[in-house]
Structures are given as C-alpha cells and as structure tokens.
Structure 1
Amino acid sequence: MAQWLRISQMLQCLPDDTINNLYPPSAFPIEVRHFLAEWIERQRWDDFALENVEQESQARALLDQTISMLQSIAQQNGNVVDRMKLMQISRNMTMFQQDSLQFTVMVREILTKERVLLGTPAQMPNPPQFQQYPNIESSFPNMQDVDHLVLKVIEVQDIRQKMHQLQEELNWERQNYERLQGPIQQNGLDHTKSEIQKLQNHIQKLEYNVKAMATKRFQLLKECVDCLDQCQTRLISRLKAWRWDQHKATIGQPFDENLNPLQTWCEQLLGVNGKLRQELMLIGEPIPELEERLGKLLQVLIESSLVVDRQPPQVIKTQSKFSTTVRYLLGEKVAPGKPVVLKAQIINELQARNLSSVPGDNVGELINNTAILEHNTSSKSTCATFRNMSIKKIKRADRKGSESVTEEKFALLFSTEINITGCDTPYRIQDRVPFMVSERVPWRMMYSTLNSKFTSEVLTHHNLDQYNQHFLAQKIFDKPDFADDFSNILVTWAQFNKEVLPGRPFTFWQWFEGVMELTKKHLREYWSEGLIFGFIGKQHLHLILKDRPNGTFLLRFSDSEIGGITIAYVSATDNGGQKIQNIQPFTKRDLEIRSLGDRIRDIDHITYLYPEFPKHEVFKKFYTEPQASPVGGYIPVSLQTKVGTEASSDTPPPLTPLPESPHSAVGFPSVSEDMDLDIDKLLESLHQ
C-alpha cells in the first residue's frame, strides 16, 4: 500500500499517455491498482517468469483471486458507475485465463516500473519478458527504461564537459602559480605571498573537484553499463517472446506482428552503446572491465537483431516454390558501401542445436537461396525477401525403429556478414526458423493449444469448455474413470499423434482433427451458438441425462470414428423405465446430403435440446424450406431421416433400398434416408 500512496501522488504530474502505458486500460487499468493496492503489494509477483511453466497453477490462482476480489468490491460499491466499471474490468481480465503467467509477469513489470519512477528499482531475479495483449502498446513498459538510461548517459556527458572546463581552469591557475613564483623569490613581498596562498587554495579545490567528478563519472559509467545490460536483456527476452508469439500464431493464437517498436528499441540501445564507448575512450586511460562488457553487449545486440519476419511454410515439399522474409532491426545503422547479401541453407536438428559455427555438412540443396538486404524508406524497415526458394534435394538420416519420415526435422539457417556504422569490425549474424518440439508437455498447455487450434480453424469465438477439456484428457490418457485434475499430467508426442487410441485404428490427433474439419465445414453456426455439447464421455452423458424427460437430447462428437457427430437422447424402455440412446454418427458425407438441422427436424423421438429447449425453437433457423413443385409434371422427391424401427415400418418403402449401416453393430440405432412422394401432386399429375 505504501508504494501505491507514493506513486499515486506522482501520477498527478504525469501526462495521460504515460499513465495509460503504465496501466494499460485493456489489460490492467489503473482502477485495479487502486482498489487492490494493499493486496497487490503483499504478493510475490517478482518470482514469476514466462519460461517457468510450472508456475502456471500458482499464477492462475492469483488471477482468479484478483477477479474475485474485483467482483466483491464492485458488489459492495454504492456508486453505480464504479460498480459497473469494476464488473466490466473483471470480465475483461478473464482473457488471461488461457495464459495466466502473462498476467503475473505483467503485474510484476508494472510494479517494477513504479519503483523505477520512485527511484527505488528492485533487484529482479529474472529478466522481464513481455507478451502482446489486445490494444496494449507494444513498447510497454520498457521504453521508460531506455529513457531513464538515456538521461544517465546525458548526465555522464554533462560531467565530462564540466570536468573539461574545470581542467582548463586548473591548467590556467597552475600557469599563474608558476608565474607568481618569480616575484616572491626576488622581492619577498607580503601581498604576493598572500596571492600565492589564495591561488594554492583555489588550485587544491579545483584538483579535489576534478578528482571527485572523475570518481562520479566512473561510477555513473558503470551504472549506465549495468542499466544497458538490463535493458538489453529485456529486449532480447521480448524478441524471444515475439518469436514465440509468431510460432503460436500458426495454431490461431492472436499475434501482433508489428516490429517497429522493437526496432526503435534496438536502435536506441545501439546508440547508447556507442556513446558509452566514446565516453570510455575520452577518459584517456583503459578500463578493461567496462570496455569488454560493452563489446559483448554490442555483439549480442547486432546478432540478435536479425528476425524472420515472414516465416516459410512449416511443411515444404521438394521441387515446390516458397517464400520468406528476413528483417534486420538495425538496418538503418548498416555501414554504406558494400551490399549485404543473406544466404539461406538447410540444416538438420543436430546442426541447429550447435550453431556456434557455420554447419559444414550440407544436408540439402536450395535454389534461389540468396537475397540482398534492402531498406524501405516508407516503412523504415530493412529486409531481405526470398521470393522463389525451392528445395532441390534433401539428405535424410537413417531412421530407427518406428520413426517416420515426418518426425525428422530440418530448419532454414539465414546468415550474412554485416558492418555497422561506428564499429571497427564486421559481424557475422544468423537466424533460423525455430522448430524445437518438446517431447512432453503438461496437459494444461496441450489443451490451451488444442482450444486455440479448434477456434481458429472453425473461425469461432466459442471455446471448448471444462467438460470438453476433461473428456479430451480422459481420452488421450485412456483414463475414462479419472475424475481429478489432469492439468499437470504430462502428454507425450507418442500419445498425441503416434500411438493409436485403445480399441481404435487412429491416433488422438487424427480423431481430433476429424472433428475439427467436420465442425469447420458443416457445424460452425451450431457450435458458435452453443447448440453442440461437443466432447463428452459416456459416464458424464448418462449423469446429466438420467433425470431428464423422454425426448431430451444433446449433440456430441463421436468418440468411435473420425469426423462424426451423434445425437444422444433419452427414450423409454419397454417396462416404463428410461435409457440413453446414441444415434449412428453423421459424417461429412451424411451432412452434405442432408443438413444437421433438417435431420434433427426429421427425428420425432427427440423433442428438447438439453437441458429443456424446444428443438423447433432453437433449430428452426437451420431448417430447409420445402422446395417449390418442379415444372414439367414431375413428381417431387424429398429426403427424410429415419431412426431405428421408423425406417422399417414406414410406407411407402424407399425407392432405392439402402444397405444396413456398418455402425449398427456397435450399439447405435441405425439411420436411413427415405424419399417421400407427394401423393397430392401424383394424383394431380395422373388426372392431367
């Protein structure tokens, strides 16, 4: 609370833009900091870092507690405006539930920035990292760190200039002292002795001031190098986070691809590094420790500023064209003269893990694998675009055991030699496509990825819910009776897409992908409106339907075949009891013939969508209107879905008998499609 009291007073003197950058309205508005000030300052936010995935559950607990406290404060607030505002903020903060570590790292950064503003920066155990959130400034909050560093450098320059002036004055007074030494030796005049004593005192004072300022100058230089090191560490972390966000964008997660703020950050740090190296040279005597640190920081910055702006496809076939763009964030600082040519080459996984030197063994041949680094003045970007690359051939390693060709990974390595203005030596820089795949990950991360992939492929905002998550975990781990939390159980690559599911001829991913494709092509609106329950196990299904009236039904994805949706419903038994029936799954082919809405309308056994929505109200918009009578006197024909005994008892029989469904043997009531004749039209046609 003490920190907030101090910072809140300071905020009144700051412009609105600075306050909004410190407390981004779309993610962590200032109201959160104000109403939860005491509680926030009691938590250990500094312990969190994005790379520590084991902290996810702890971070989620803090996020949930934050939301809960905001809701509680809102309900107790007598001001209706504050109450509505706090409730809206609490709802908005649920966007962090997919990755609560991002929330805790963001709060950590906000508190760190407050301490910097107060002049008491905390010692951080881990370098801060950043993630783009919706509508948040991409430079938040690191630009203030750079501004603070620039002010320190200006202070060093100012001290150096004052020292120079003092040194000039000292040199002049020493000359005067030498000039006055002659008269005192010759005449011994008292007034000359007095002047000399006064001059000696002044010289001693000047010498003391010069020495004191030299000590302060050195201390400030060391602080500047420390601060530069911290700022650059944060920049590198942010670049890594940007690359990770770019990687996750391939499965549909939101991604802000704008690199301009990071480019500005790189350029500012390069400028600061150059000024500090100049200040060291102007000292006039070597300081090896600081010179070496600045040299290493410069090298890391120059090498880290090469970024694959537009990634090539993740899967590339030989003899096919593909493109990619590599951007250099320090492009405007490249020394003029010789053009910079980037080269791309293919490397295998072993080479990618040992990039200390240029790979010697050539594992593949690339066509059109060079491009010139060119500056675009309008976009202020410097890029090399590989427009028509192609893999001519590739050398694969010997496979062992059950390894497949798709499990062998390769990467593209981009490299060049570059000269930066103000630097004496050229630097060899390189970047590659990140493709490291963990052998096993916690289920919570797997589920988050599956959810992102599903919603992005289906183009929907309706996420998988907790019931879907639990059933998917039961399926991938083959634990249908497990009722506890799966979050921290590790999923292996083999469980995901190598080993077939028990009793099935397909893997988990093949099955999940089939559901995703079916939903994308035929069920998007149904899913988006929450009409499909989705992934649910048989035990849970029976639990929620057992007390419902006959005819109650829900839509769930088939767990016995790829790409199917089935209708589970409550029906009566012969002795007056109830049982749960699962209709034979409808596949892509079935729904191409007749839509899901029309099939639901056809089946008289089902009347209420779980829990109690009349089916004709919720599905009416999906019903197909009867077609107008065709011209020419033809008898109109329509399709209708029949379930179980309906199909065998109806008259007239289908014009073309359908074969028995192969799924009827596994407990699904069979489904057939009858062609109904319009009798009135038939009689009218015969009469004519």
Structure 2
Amino acid sequence: MSQWKRIQQLEIRHLEHVDYLYDDNFPMDIRQGLASWIEAQDWELASNDESVAMVMFSNLLTQMEKVRSQEQNFLQRHNLKIIHQQLQVKYSSNPALMARVICSCLKEERRILESACMQEQGPLEKSLQNSVALERQKNIDNRVGLIRGSVQLMDQAVKFIEDMQDDFDFRYKTLQSRDQAERNSEHMKQEVTRLQEMLNRLDFKRKEVLSKMDIVVKEIDDVMNSQLYPELQDWKRRQQITAIGGPQLTGLEQLQNWFTLTVQSLFQIKRQLDKLGELVLKVTYESDPIPLQKPQMEDKLKYLIYHLIKSSFVVEKQPCMPTHPQKPLIIKTGVQFTTKVRLLVKLPEVDYQLKVKTTFDNRQFFILTNNTKVMDIEDYSNGCLSVEFRHLQLKEKKYINGTKGNEGLLSVTEELHSLSFEACFTVQGLTIDLEICSLPLVVISNVSQLPGGWASVMWYNLLTDEPKNLTFFTNPPRANWTQLSEVLSWQFSAQAGRGLDKEQLTMLGEKLLGHHVSCSDYQVSWSRFSKENIPGKSFSFWMWLDSILELIKKHLLPVWSENYIMGFVSKETERILLKDKEPGTFLLRFSESHLGGITFTWVDREDNGEVKFNSVEPYTKNRLSALPFADIIRDYKVISEGVVKENPLKFLYPNIPKDEAFGRLYNSPPSKGETGNSSSVISTPPPSQSPEPPMTPGEFNMLNEHLCFDIDSVSTQTHTKYTQENTSGGKTPGLLVLVRAGTRGRSERQVL
C-alpha cells in the first residue's frame, strides 16, 4: 500500500497534522494526483544536486500535465493549471528548493504514520504537538488582530481631531479678523463661547486618543513579551529538535505574520503620533496633552520597534553540508556548507540593499570564501527579506610552532564553535543593528570524526537551549533515558525511514544501562553514551549504533523499511523467541560484536528432537556491497560433510514464509534451473579480507551454469574450505570458497 493511501486511513487528529504540511509551496492536489510517482522519486538526492533537481522538476510538470489532461472535473482542471503556473514561477530558478520541500513533507508523513502506529509519542514530541500550543497560537492571532483593528480606529480618531481642529482654526481666525468694535457685540460673545466649547471638545479628543494609544502600546508590549518572544523561543527550540531528527519544523510563516502585523501597528501609531505633533504646531493651549505625553510615548514606540525588528532576525536554516543533509551543524574543513538567515518583518521602507556579513568565532578557523551577501525579497515568503549563503568554506589557521592554544582540553568533536551574522539598516529615523548566531557547530577535518561530532550535536541540542554555551562539554549534563531513547529512535526515522519500537528501545537501554533500563528517568552520562567502550568491546555504544544506521542506509533499507529486521535483540532473547518455532524459522538481528554487522539465526531440531540454533558470521558493509541482502537470504546454503544442502531458511519470525516476506525485494533472478527458495550453490559474497573484487550476479550465474562437477568428487588439487558448528549456538560461515589450482600455477578463488 502506498504511503499516501496509508495516510488517508489515519484518524482525524493525525490528518489535521498532515493538512498542516501542505500549502502553496507544495499543494495537496499534487500530492494526491501524483502520489505513486512522487513516492518513487529520490527527492533527497535531488535536493542536493541541482542537475538532478532540474530534471525531476521538469518531470513533475510533465506528470502534472498528464494528470490535468485526464481530469474530467472542469474546476479541478482549472486548479491544476493554476498550480502548474505557480510552481513554474516559484521553482524554475531553484528546483532544488522544490525537492527539499517535497522531501520534508514525505519524511514528516512517515513520522506521522509511525507515531500513529505507536501507542504513544515520546515526551519531546508530545511537548511540540499539543492542544495547549494550538490554543496559545489562536490567542495570539486574536490579540494581534484586535490590535490591528484598534490602530485602524485610531486613524479615524486622529482624522476626526484634524477636521475638528481645522474647523476651530477657521472660526478662530475669522473672529480675529473682525473689527475691534464688533468684538464686544453679543454675537461675538456667543462666538467666543462656541470657540471655547470647541477647544474643550478638542482637548477632550486629544486626551482620549492619547489614552487609547497608550492602552494599545501597552497591549503590544504585553503581546511581544508574554507571547511573541516566547513563541519565537519555542520555534528556535523546535528548530533544535528538528536538527537532531525530530518532527519537521513548522511555524515560521505564522511567526512572520505576527511580527509583521505587530511592527506595522507600531509604525502606524508612530505616524499617528507624528500627525498629532503637526497639529500642535497649528493649535496649542495651556495644558495641551500632546506636548506633555508625546515624547515619552515616542521613546516607548522606538524601543518596541527596535527590539521587535532586532529579534525578528533569525537563522532559518542552520549551517549544513549538502553532502550530509541529515546531519547539520557539523562542518568539515575544505567542504562547502550552506546556511540561511531571514528577517521576519516585512517593511517596504527598508533599504533592500541590506548587506549581511557572516563571521566565524575567532579561534583556529576562518571563512575562506566570500562572507558578505545582500538580502533579497523571497516571493514565496510573502515578500520578506532573506539571504542564503551556499558556498561557505572553513579553513584552519596555521599556527607558529604548531600550537593551537586550547589543544588537549577537549576532543575535536566536543569543541563548539559559532557562526555569527550581522547587518545594520535605518528605517524611519531608527538605526537598527541586527545580529544572530547559529547553533553551536562542530568542526571536523576527517569524515571519520563525523559520528563523534553528531553525538555531540545530539547531546547539546537535546539538553540545552542556550545558543552561546560553547563551553557545554567542559561539564556536560546527564540525559534522561526516556528523552534520549526518543532521540535515538528519531535517528532511525530520519535517516532510515522507520523509527524504533518499544521493544527495540528496551534492548538498547539494556545494552547501555543494564538493569537500570526499567527506570525511565535514569540519567545517562555523556561519557557512557559516547566515550567509554562497551564492556569487552573496542567501541562505544554510540559508535556501535551509528555503524548500524550506516549499514541500514547503504545496504538494508528495503528490508528495514518492511519491518523485517528485529534488529536489537540479545542472543538470550533470540533463543527464547525461536525455540518453540517451526524448524527453519529465522530472525534478523544486528551484531553485538561487530561494528555495522547483521546476522541471522535459524532454529532446527536434531533427530532426537533436541533444539539447536545456527547463526552466521555477521554480514558487514564490505560483504553486503556485492549482493542485496534479500538475495542472500533467498540463495543461502549450508555445506555439511561436503554436501550442499537446501536453504535452511524457511520462515521469517514469527511465521512468514520467506518468499512471501522477501519476494518483492529480490534484485536478481535465482540461479538458472532453480526456482523458489532453493539454489545449487551459496551466492553470498566473499569475506571482507579477500583481495579480489566480488563477482557480479551475472558473473556468478555464468560460473554456476558451467559447474557440472560433484563437490565430493573434486580432484585432489581442489580444497574445500568451510567450518560449521551445529551445536547449540554454533556459527556457520555465510559463504563457501573453493580454492583450486589455476591454469598458470596460481590459486583461483571462486565464491560458491
């Protein structure tokens, strides 16, 4: 079943979250009409390769035209035409942006499906998606809307005062122009009385509008401090969570709308106050409220405008290498990385030649490439200013005598750095200095440091929201296992398409914490997670887990996506699960003794009925690079006493026939003359230490067709190497190697 069909079967509460994903950037009409085609494309590749993105964008438009031509509903055809035009305008010059948008939506769909299948979300994800937050946002919408309405009404009030004052001014000047003899007449006395009444009403209206201004300004101040700034901080916190694999980040457009409407209200009040100041130049009097209250109110308005605009300068996309889009905030020297800043307020008055300068913290690195760019208007962001630095690159400084100063205090992957952005502009007489920092970065010089750097990024962003705490790892806090396990599940969800279930997380907890895993609030130290070796092993817990992630991404993704890999299960639990199953029942789990290895164990029975378990040596990335894992399962054979036996793997745990489970995942046909789940020889790849390149499936099949000798009758020059232990828990190698004399006096190794 397609991902989109599964989405449509969710409960309303989940569908509401799905609805939130789709907007003008990626309309749901397209997701619906091109569901199968969209899911079949590699959007992640396109998001990091402009040429691929351009081809896929063109293909998308072609697919849309095809769907539109087949659509019977006139209105829907019209809508598709409009959407087609909008997408061309938005993405023709930047198709990779479209790929990133679609990729993000698909990932978030998978997360929603995953959370819907689990009994409950983790505490971090719950805190980001709750009804309280939605109510809070509705409240901000209402308050900002009411403020805008009040400011509009004050415009009318100021205009009314202006008209009233013009009337008063005209009558007053008319009275002044009369002869002295007329001024003492009864008519003139009545006119003076009327003028006094007009002045009293004018004074009352001036006081009234100033009072309303004061109330609105205080309301804006309260909204900014009690709601807008906390909402912005909440968005920044959610950005941290998204950076380490959490739920897709949303809400920036909403923040932009609130900030823009609020700053527009402040500027409008400022203009109204300026207008009142102009009126004072024409008519003033003793105890005139405008000169008395205007200076203080102006200062308050300037203060609010300054801080609102200053806080609206945000890092929209944290620094990230395009080669590792799922691991932001790690920068390798000499490799380009991208980042993007944005101004959340839309101000027509702002000079659009606004230059942003980015600098790296002044220690042992500096930015090699151009570090200054001009902000520009983005149409799809409703006209706000932003700038994306796409080609930044770091270089390490050369030091005299090779000394770096702080070297030795922390490991490279624990040293945190900061990327700063600065700009300055003037608007309506206000000079505003903009400055914002990225989240702390880890700088590496070799890709082998990537896993350690990512552990630091995860730990930091899980446990603190202080963006300038660069000394975090001098005394790193402990992590609560409940939250840490959720973040570990996110790694599999974000990088391998499916997170970990409760049982898998429990096994990981047992490996990391032992019996303490039953305590959900147990505190895990940084050292235990990432630095200390697992007892009896030469690697840490995180290095072991990260190597499994890499193995899944590169070699096991189809099998993992189908939920066929139990993965994290101890040998003891494995035997408990298999002992009462049909002979030939097997399960797949990750090796605990190898970095990045997967093994399978099957259950069998002796003639006397005694249960025995057979496990193969773990398959690592080197061995899995030759053949897909599903094909290995299909063609696996055991050699016993020189005899090739049939495939012992019959049922994937708990009771799924092997071909029913893996049939759709087979990449190559079985060997010629064989069908079903049997094969004449083992088609597993050579061991990692073999100096020869592995055979392709085609080479292997050709070899298999010409092998017409009986293994037991091979000449004395042929030696069969194999080992097998069929005792309880014994291991059977995942391959058979024939070593026979070559035609030119050398040995030829052939994998059978």
State the TM-score, normalized to the length of structure 1: 0.64
**Deviation digits for residues 13-32 of structure 1 (CA, Å, limit 9, x no counterpart):** xxxxxxxxxx99613999xx
The answer as to whether partners of 1:325 and 1:385 remain within 8 angstroms in 2 is yes
- Match of residue 526 from structure 2: 493
Q: Determine the C-alpha separation between the residues in 2 that align with 1:261 and 1:113.
A: 9
Judge which range, 377-386 or 433-442, deviates more.
377-386
> 3-state DSSP class of the match of 1:532?
coil
Cα 1:431/1:25, change in 2 over 3 Å: same
> 3-state DSSP class of the match of 1:413?
strand
> 3-state DSSP class of the match of 1:417?
strand
Residue 521 of structure 1 and its aligned partner are, at CA, apart by 2.1
**Deviation digits for residues 374-404 of structure 1 (CA, Å, limit 9, x no counterpart):** 4347553534454543334347442446x31
> 3-state DSSP class of the match of 1:514?
helix
Q: Does 1:26 align with 2:16?
A: yes
**Deviation digits for residues 50-76 of structure 1 (CA, Å, limit 9, x no counterpart):** xxxxxxxxxxxxxxxxxxxxxxxxxxx
Cα 1:557/1:24, change in 2 over 3 Å: closer
The answer as to whether partners of 1:170 and 1:203 remain within 8 angstroms in 2 is yes
- Match of residue 331 from structure 2: 316
> 3-state DSSP class of the match of 2:292?
coil
Q: How does 1:167-186 map to 2 (within 5 A)?
A: none
Q: Alignment partner for residue 525 of structure 1, among 558, 561, 566?
A: 558
Q: Alignment partner for residue 391 of structure 1, among 389, 394, 398?
A: 394
The answer as to whether partners of 1:334 and 1:418 remain within 8 angstroms in 2 is no
The answer as to whether partners of 2:720 and 2:737 remain within 8 angstroms in 1 is no
- The letter of the residue matching 2:559 is Y
Residue 578 of structure 1 and its aligned partner are, at CA, apart by 3.3
Cα 1:211/1:444, change in 2 over 3 Å: farther
Cα 1:163/1:219, change in 2 over 3 Å: same
**Deviation digits for residues 419-448 of structure 1 (CA, Å, limit 9, x no counterpart):** 22x1x2422211221128243332333223
> 3-state DSSP class of the match of 1:27?
helix
Q: How does 1:132-143 map to 2 (within 5 A)?
A: 142-143=140-141
Q: Does 1:626 align with 2:670?
A: yes
Q: How does 1:147-166 map to 2 (within 5 A)?
A: 147-166=145-164
- Match of residue 651 from structure 2: 608
The answer as to whether partners of 2:516 and 2:522 remain within 8 angstroms in 1 is no
Q: Determine the C-alpha separation between the residues in 2 that align with 1:185 and 1:455.
A: 90
- Match of residue 295 from structure 1: 302
The answer as to whether partners of 2:161 and 2:206 remain within 8 angstroms in 1 is yes
Q: Determine the C-alpha separation between the residues in 2 that align with 1:552 and 1:95.
A: 28
- Match of residue 736 from structure 2: 674
**Deviation digits for residues 473-518 of structure 1 (CA, Å, limit 9, x no counterpart):** 22222x1x446253x3333332222111122111112111111122
Cα 1:90/1:415, change in 2 over 3 Å: closer
The answer as to whether partners of 1:419 and 1:425 remain within 8 angstroms in 2 is yes
Residue 156 of structure 1 and its aligned partner are, at CA, apart by 2.4
The answer as to whether partners of 1:326 and 1:385 remain within 8 angstroms in 2 is yes
- The letter of the residue matching 2:630 is G
Q: How does 1:310-389 map to 2 (within 5 A)?
A: 310=317, 311-313=319-321, 314-330=329-345, 332-333=347-348, 335-336=350-351, 339-347=353-361, 363-376=364-377, 380-389=383-392
> 3-state DSSP class of the match of 1:414?
strand
- The letter of the residue matching 2:487 is T
Q: Alignment partner for residue 506 of structure 2, among 470, 489, 504?
A: 470
The answer as to whether partners of 2:320 and 2:339 remain within 8 angstroms in 1 is yes
Residue 465 of structure 1 and its aligned partner are, at CA, apart by 0.8
The answer as to whether partners of 2:246 and 2:490 remain within 8 angstroms in 1 is yes
Where structure 1 has 5 or more consecutive residues not aligned to the other structure, the ranges are: 1-22, 31-87, 117-141, 348-360, 630-635, 643-648, 678-688
Judge which range, 547-556 or 409-418, deviates more.
547-556
> 3-state DSSP class of the match of 2:539?
coil
The answer as to whether partners of 2:509 and 2:517 remain within 8 angstroms in 1 is no
- Match of residue 490 from structure 2: 452
The answer as to whether partners of 1:27 and 1:93 remain within 8 angstroms in 2 is no
Count of aligned residue pairs for this structure pair: 531
**Deviation digits for residues 310-347 of structure 1 (CA, Å, limit 9, x no counterpart):** 4343333444444444333447546449x543322211
Q: Determine the C-alpha separation between the residues in 2 that align with 1:390 and 1:29.
A: 38
Residue 466 of structure 1 and its aligned partner are, at CA, apart by 0.7
**Deviation digits for residues 143-173 of structure 1 (CA, Å, limit 9, x no counterpart):** 5443221101112223333344455566778
Q: Determine the C-alpha separation between the residues in 1 that align with 2:572 and 2:202.
A: 83
Q: Alignment partner for residue 224 of structure 1, among 201, 216, 225?
A: 216
The answer as to whether partners of 2:600 and 2:615 remain within 8 angstroms in 1 is yes
- The letter of the residue matching 2:535 is P
Cα 1:390/1:165, change in 2 over 3 Å: same
Cα 1:656/1:107, change in 2 over 3 Å: same
> 3-state DSSP class of the match of 1:344?
strand
Judge which range, 248-257 or 437-446, deviates more.
248-257
State the TM-score, normalized to the length of structure 2: 0.59
Q: Determine the C-alpha separation between the residues in 1 that align with 2:241 and 2:124.
A: 16
> 3-state DSSP class of the match of 1:548?
coil
Q: Determine the C-alpha separation between the residues in 2 that align with 1:262 and 1:453.
A: 28
Residue 302 of structure 1 and its aligned partner are, at CA, apart by 2.2
- Match of residue 427 from structure 1: 432
> 3-state DSSP class of the match of 1:368?
coil
- Match of residue 272 from structure 1: 265
Q: Alignment partner for residue 617 of structure 2, among 580, 584, 605?
A: 584
The answer as to whether partners of 2:336 and 2:391 remain within 8 angstroms in 1 is yes
- The letter of the residue matching 2:16 is S
Q: Determine the C-alpha separation between the residues in 1 that align with 2:684 and 2:369.
A: 57
- Match of residue 412 from structure 2: 405
Q: Alignment partner for residue 543 of structure 2, among 503, 506, 510?
A: 510
The answer as to whether partners of 1:554 and 1:568 remain within 8 angstroms in 2 is yes
Q: Does 1:108 align with 2:141?
A: no
- Match of residue 121 from structure 2: 97
The answer as to whether partners of 1:341 and 1:373 remain within 8 angstroms in 2 is yes
The answer as to whether partners of 1:308 and 1:327 remain within 8 angstroms in 2 is yes
Q: Determine the C-alpha separation between the residues in 2 that align with 1:658 and 1:146.
A: 78
- Match of residue 707 from structure 2: none
Where structure 2 has 5 or more consecutive residues not aligned to the other structure, the ranges are: 1-12, 21-111, 277-289, 322-328, 442-459, 464-475, 638-646, 674-678, 686-709, 740-752
- Match of residue 3 from structure 1: none
Q: Determine the C-alpha separation between the residues in 2 that align with 1:618 and 1:91.
A: 24
> 3-state DSSP class of the match of 1:419?
strand
Q: Determine the C-alpha separation between the residues in 1 that align with 2:680 and 2:114.
A: 55
Q: Determine the C-alpha separation between the residues in 2 that align with 1:301 and 1:93.
A: 42
- The letter of the residue matching 2:331 is I
> 3-state DSSP class of the match of 2:625?
helix
Cα 1:580/1:289, change in 2 over 3 Å: farther
Residue 414 of structure 1 and its aligned partner are, at CA, apart by 1.5
Q: Determine the C-alpha separation between the residues in 2 that align with 1:586 and 1:250.
A: 31
Q: Does 1:551 align with 2:584?
A: yes
Residue 304 of structure 1 and its aligned partner are, at CA, apart by 2.3
Q: Determine the C-alpha separation between the residues in 2 that align with 1:24 and 1:660.
A: 53
Q: Determine the C-alpha separation between the residues in 2 that align with 1:381 and 1:389.
A: 23
- Match of residue 85 from structure 2: none
- The letter of the residue matching 2:342 is R
The answer as to whether partners of 2:614 and 2:732 remain within 8 angstroms in 1 is no
Q: Determine the C-alpha separation between the residues in 1 that align with 2:254 and 2:626.
A: 52
Q: How does 1:188-207 map to 2 (within 5 A)?
A: none
**Deviation digits for residues 292-315 of structure 1 (CA, Å, limit 9, x no counterpart):** 443332222222233334434333
Cα 1:485/1:210, change in 2 over 3 Å: farther
Residue 248 of structure 1 and its aligned partner are, at CA, apart by 4.4
The answer as to whether partners of 1:553 and 1:568 remain within 8 angstroms in 2 is yes
Q: Alignment partner for residue 307 of structure 1, among 280, 291, 314?
A: 314
